[in-house]
């Protein structure tokens, strides 16, 4: 909330995990194949194989695949699951290699194109403000 207090009702996600990130990723910090981390705007979505294999996945992998029924960015996924961004990057790469997650890395040239950024800003400005009576 704006005053620093917690929102009313139960926490929809639950408490943040107490496991250290390096334990979840076995000490890995980036994609081992390229040595370069996936960009935060990379879109991820579960494959049919991933949804079928949910029961046999580790806790974090299960949560990632289950949350990716609809496409979302790595940044959104990390925030939603309350996992460190680099943990999500490493696990997403693992899941992609296993065919359980489809990963769509944006074109590097398009992400540096000022006209794309201008269209995003214009689109955000066109979104109406939220109702004021809910504070």
User: Is the model more confident about 38 or about 67?
Assistant: 67
Tell me if 94 is assigned to some domain: yes
Tell me if 100 is assigned to some domain: yes
Tell me if 84 is assigned to some domain: yes
User: Is the model more confident about 74 or about 122?
Assistant: 74
Tell me if 91 is assigned to some domain: yes
Domain hosting 115: range is: 21-127
**pTM for this structure?**
0.64
Q: How far apart are CA 26 and CA 9, in angstroms?
A: 36
Tell me if 45 is assigned to some domain: yes
The residues facing 104 across adjacent strands are: 43
Tell me if 13 is assigned to some domain: no
- Per-residue tokens: 32: 């081992």
In the chain, DSSP finds a helix count (H) and a strand count (E) of: 7, 3
Q: How many domains, in total, are found in the chain? A: 1
Query: Residues 29-62: pLDDT tens digits?
Result: 665 555 567 788 889 999 999 999 999 988 888 9
Tell me if 7 is assigned to some domain: no
- Per-residue tokens: 106: 């944006």
pLDDT greater than 90 at residue 5:
no
């Amino acid at each position: 909330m704006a005053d620093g207090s917690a929102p009313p009702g139960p926490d929809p996600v639950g408490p943040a995990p107490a496991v250290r990130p390096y334990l979840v990723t076995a000490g890995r910090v980036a994609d081992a194949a390229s040595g370069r981390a996936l960009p935060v705007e990379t879109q991820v979505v579960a494959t049919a194989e991933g949804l079928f294999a949910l029961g046999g996945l580790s806790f974090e992998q299960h949560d990632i695949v289950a949350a990716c029924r609809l496409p979302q960015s790595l940044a959104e996924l990390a925030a939603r699951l309350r996992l460190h961004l680099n943990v999500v990057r490493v696990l997403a790469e693992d899941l992609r290699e296993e065919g359980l997650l489809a990963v769509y890395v944006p074109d590097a040239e398009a992400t540096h194109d000022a006209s794309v950024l201008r269209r995003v800003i214009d689109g955000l400005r066109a979104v109406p403000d939220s109702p004021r009576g809910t504070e």
